[in-house]
Amino acid sequence: MTEKKSLNQKIEELNNEVEWFYSDDFQLDEATVKYKNAVNLAKDIEKDLNELKNEIEILAQDFSK
């Protein structure tokens, strides 16, 4: 079973993926795979942030009553 990553872990992983493009390890033949992985991570992070925003809005409504 896959362990669910925290938002911070996903952001750190995305940062590492992006840094790879600027590193000495960069290889053009790996770039497409790394780019796709970074895009998927970014989408996943955006989804998590939207869910967090919705939770905060719900909590804010509850406390404003």
The domains of the chain are located at 27-65
Query: What is the tens place of the pLDDT at every residue in 3-59?
Result: 789 999 999 999 999 999 999 999 999 999 999 999 999 999 999 999 999 999 888
Q: How far apart are CA 51 and CA 41, in angstroms?
A: 15
Instruction: Report pTM.
Output: 0.80
Q: How far apart are CA 52 and CA 58, in angstroms?
A: 10
63 token code pair: 């406390």
